Structure 1
């Protein structure tokens, strides 16, 4: 049975007396979210209080915390902020990526290597590209070839692939000639390269492209959703956004339409809600396709740690799952 959004009017999110609105915000991660007001950067907690003040005024860019450290840029170089907002790893790298499994890919000079949380080289810089670790494997590139290293730097899959992605659910996209398949952590091709495009596994299924249309395969390589979709996203919380006859809806893992196509845009579900756009405004629906938060925002982001990013006019704030805007002292805490 198709699920349709309830057409009855939905009350707008209740207005708080002191809503927190910023020039830009990030998703919540590890209990805090990065916010910017003019040149000020800080991290607020879920109650709207500034919990981490970026100590160095030269920092112009910062990211979410991952494993207790956040990538930050000062001038032309990058380092990592600790949970006090000071430099946990001094600014020194040309590029830097988030920590994962105790290591972070950084560019020192012209090559990428990996550092530990103390900023010491765990894998010396030697690669032209390096990605994060997933289950003990990291994708690396040298000249025109890709392969994988373990956390000691040992090349566990030789650098012979012409194109490859990071592992997800123990399988990784790999290209042979002009077609894509999947390899296991030992580098063995376990799903033959027969696809014009392929994407990472999520919830046991992977999106693949045959010609110009998309479908889904399982971990054995069986096509479980035929490639008839104009476009689709990966599965998240049991549903995948799909473009059907010019509008977005959601399908279940069998390919059945679970939420009828009716949106201008639809994003992945996260924490039981998904951002959708209807008539130029953004709101959130639940897995039954009912409005949880009415479409009223200029833009919106996924829910993370109980909060969703929303844009009101030219400012950004956060709402909870009932649509209440986060309020608090904001930067008044640090003035």
Structure 2
């Protein structure tokens, strides 16, 4: 039998102590009017209910509300950023949204103001840029707080795969990170690019375009989701099925509800009042509803 030396034991214990908390999946829970967190694996209380509100953990920190103000805790339940903000969102790309005095900005993980509150609304950073709203129009800032795309759009969403959907007038199109219009506003609805294609609505039906704005899957569907793992949800005749990137129906519309594929499986419901089950990409039901 191989001996475990005191040194190796110490290294193991140190490693375990460093990784165990960060690996925990903690979820907010309300008990008797107070919020805390449960351990997803054990179902046990990990952080005792003591907050007026609690958000999900992102990037190892979670926002909480205490005595009327928002701050942040770590997975040990320790307050690492004192409650001082009127509102707060979770951390994304190292920064978190906060509100002070009716204006929004961002803080870093030390609690330092990284972008001073000056905007009417802000959203999380995606691909290095964040949506902001000023005087009723939408634009984008970088992580230094510089306005890189001036507020000019009726609506806008975050960047995915280098492009963001924007609304001018009553039509949607797409811009790149310089603010250049790469797909002119022409659609009734538009979704984010996923796996190189984006869901669009034209003349009341949904199809898909590529990054040049070319329609590659004709608008034929009553509804649709984005592509995940080479499949996209589509609705025909009140039922959901799936297509591939060529627009071919690979799983016939037959489900009352359907979700995106993840790790080869998708959650589906056969009937309105039925239970959820799972199918694989070959249409085989692997977990019956």
Return the TM-score normalized by structure 1. Answer: 0.74
> Who is 1:32 aligned against?
25
Q: How far did 1:136 drift?
A: 1.2
Match of 1:275 among 242, 262, 267: 267
Match of 2:36 among 41, 58, 69: 41
Q: Deviations over 1:117-156 (max 9, x none)?
A: 0111000000111011112111111111111111010111
The structure with more helix, counted as a fraction of residues: 2
Distance 1:167 1:183 in 2: 9
Q: How far did 1:49 drift?
A: 6.0
1:202 matched to 2:197? The reply is no
> Who is 1:136 aligned against?
128
Distance 2:150 2:28 in 1: 42
Distance 1:273 1:75 in 2: 44
1:62 matched to 2:57? The reply is no
Q: How far did 1:30 drift?
A: 5.7
Q: How far did 1:220 drift?
A: 1.2
Q: Deviations over 1:87-146 (max 9, x none)?
A: 222222222112111101111120100000011100000011101111211111111111
> Who is 1:174 aligned against?
166
Return the TM-score normalized by structure 2. Answer: 0.85
> Does the 8 Å CA contact 2:278/2:287 hold for their aligned counterparts?
yes
Equivalences for residues 1-335 of structure 1 within 5 A:
31-34=24-27, 36=29, 38-39=31-32, 41-46=36-41, 48=42, 50=44, 52-54=46-48, 57-74=49-66, 76-279=68-271, 280-295=274-289
Structure having the higher Rg: 2
Distance 1:37 1:121 in 2: 30
RMSD: 1.9
Distance 1:244 1:166 in 2: 29
Gaps of 5+ in 2: 1-21
Distance 1:263 1:37 in 2: 34
> Does the 8 Å CA contact 1:30/1:65 hold for their aligned counterparts?
no
> Does the 8 Å CA contact 1:30/1:66 hold for their aligned counterparts?
no
Gaps of 5+ in 1: 1-28, 296-335
Q: How far did 1:289 drift?
A: 1.7
Task: Identify the range of structure 1 (276-285 vs 187-196) with the bigger mean alpha-carbon deviation.
Answer: 276-285
- Secondary structure in 1 aligned to 2:56? strand
Q: Number of residue pairs matched? A: 264
